[in-house]
Chain A
Amino acid sequence: MVKIVNSPEGLEGQGFFATSFDKVIGLARANSLWPLPFATSCCGIEFMATMGPNYDLARFGSERMSFSPRQADLLIVAGTISKKLGPVLKKVYDQMAEPKWVLSVGACASSGGIFDTYSVLQGIDHVIPVDVYVPGCPPRPEQIIEGVLKIQELAKNESLRRRDSAEYKKMLESYNIEQQ
């Protein structure tokens, strides 16, 4: 059975339906997130299971994995990021077009995890801003789906002007990221 998302609140009558741009665009964005998997280790394997037919991330509109940052909306960082990989991750984030979201999957991406050592970045939020953290070592696919659903909530309810706001620009500045 094909299930379609519910239409947003609005004014409905015979032959017309009126609502706000915020809601329509949010609905469209939330249900067609194109993820860019940045997977380095075991969390990446769990993410592959999430994409596969058993858990089927495509049900939530994330059918197409984008391996080009230019066409991606959601950066999924799954796995240990070493300090040397930090600038690469930042570059990938830089190349994504706004609006963009970041999902940090697993203990390593979120905090360095068990790798509390000189060579490992102690959480990707030292390099790029993160929207949702998924705990676990590694998290089960259900948890990753929950994380994607949280991102969908954010995308659905985001104001269209958020990315132009002073707070957002200040936040990017604190990471030394130039807005495109």
Chain B
Amino acid sequence: MPDFFENTRTIIEAVDDSASYSLDNWNEHNFIVSSDLLFDVIKALKENGYQYLIDLTGAHYPDTEYEYQVVYHVQNLIENLRVRIKVNLTTEKNEVSSIVDLYNAANWMERETFDFYGIIFTGHPNLKRILNLDDMDYHPMRKEYKLEDETRNDKSDKYFGR
């Protein structure tokens, strides 16, 4: 592992000493950090060369203690390092602070994550649906809903033998 990565680990652990680190099968560096310290962690990374937010998305793991996860990918273009930061959220508190102030790219990605998973990004300038219909009353990527469109009336079970 190159030395500058150790540097990154020091930066993250200086902000959140409970951050857990793991290396996945594809040699990508993962950190799970506390949701309260997420903004500070990303800010520290940005100040230390991680100037590019590659992706921001959510995940739903039903029947686990944390249930929701928000995943941030940031890249240091000079040292060619990528780090994946994850935040675990619960059903009761599915809030994390917005990082739009750090990366403008986060604006639409946070809206998308809100749209599909219902995760609230506190401090987001315009947190409303982006891809789905405005009057949709649920968050479709949560694993609570059937994939099939339930408004469809020509799909009686008898045509499908089920």
Name A's B-contacting residues (CB within 8 A).
Answer: 83-84, 111-112, 116-120, 122
A117 to B140 alpha-carbon distance, docked (Å)? 10
Residues of B within 8 A of A84 (CB): 131-133
A140 to B132 alpha-carbon distance, docked (Å)? 32
CB atoms of A117 and B132 under 8 A apart? no
A140 to chain B, nearest CB (A): 26
Residues of B within 8 A of A117 (CB): 147-149
Residues of B within 8 A of A116 (CB): 147-149, 152, 155
When each residue 120-162 of chain B gets 1 if its CB lies under 8 Å from chain A and 0 otherwise, what string results?
Answer: 0000000000011100000010000101110110110000000
Q: For residue B129, which residue of chain A has the nearest CB?
A: A84
Residues of B within 8 A of A111 (CB): 154
Q: For residue A83, which residue of chain B has the nearest CB?
A: B133
Please pick, from A112, A118, A120, A122, the residue contacting B145 in the complex, using a CB distance under 8 A. Answer: A118
CB atoms of A119 and B152 under 8 A apart? no
CB atoms of B140 and A118 under 8 A apart? yes
A163 to chain B, nearest CB (A): 29
CB atoms of B152 and A112 under 8 A apart? yes
Residues of B within 8 A of A119 (CB): 131-132, 140
A118 to B145 alpha-carbon distance, docked (Å)? 10
Q: For residue B153, which residue of chain A has the nearest CB?
A: A122
When each residue 27-71 of chain B gets 1 if its CB lies under 8 Å from chain A and 0 otherwise, what string results?
Answer: 000000000000000000000000000000000000000000000
Residues of A within 8 A of B131 (CB): 84, 119
Residues of A within 8 A of B151 (CB): 122
Q: For residue B151, which residue of chain A has the nearest CB?
A: A122
B144 to chain A, nearest CB (A): 12
6 smallest CB-CB distances across A and B, nearest first, come from A118-B140, A122-B152, A116-B148, A84-B133, A83-B133, A118-B149
B140 to chain A, nearest CB (A): 5
B148 to chain A, nearest CB (A): 5
Residues of A within 8 A of B132 (CB): 83-84, 118-119
A88 to chain B, nearest CB (A): 12
Residues of B within 8 A of A120 (CB): 149
B141 to chain A, nearest CB (A): 10
Q: For residue A118, which residue of chain B has the nearest CB?
A: B140
Q: For residue B141, which residue of chain A has the nearest CB?
A: A118
B60 to chain A, nearest CB (A): 15
Residues of A within 8 A of B154 (CB): 111
A53 to chain B, nearest CB (A): 38
A155 to chain B, nearest CB (A): 29
* 18 cross-chain CB contacts under 8 A: A83-B132, A83-B133, A84-B131, A84-B133, A112-B149, A112-B152, A116-B148, A116-B149, A116-B152, A116-B155, A117-B147, A117-B148, A118-B132, A118-B145, A118-B147, A119-B131, A119-B140, A122-B151
A75 to B89 alpha-carbon distance, docked (Å)? 48
A117 to B149 alpha-carbon distance, docked (Å)? 5
Residues of A within 8 A of B140 (CB): 118-119
A84 to B131 alpha-carbon distance, docked (Å)? 8
B115 to chain A, nearest CB (A): 11
B160 to chain A, nearest CB (A): 11
Q: For residue A115, which residue of chain B has the nearest CB?
A: B149
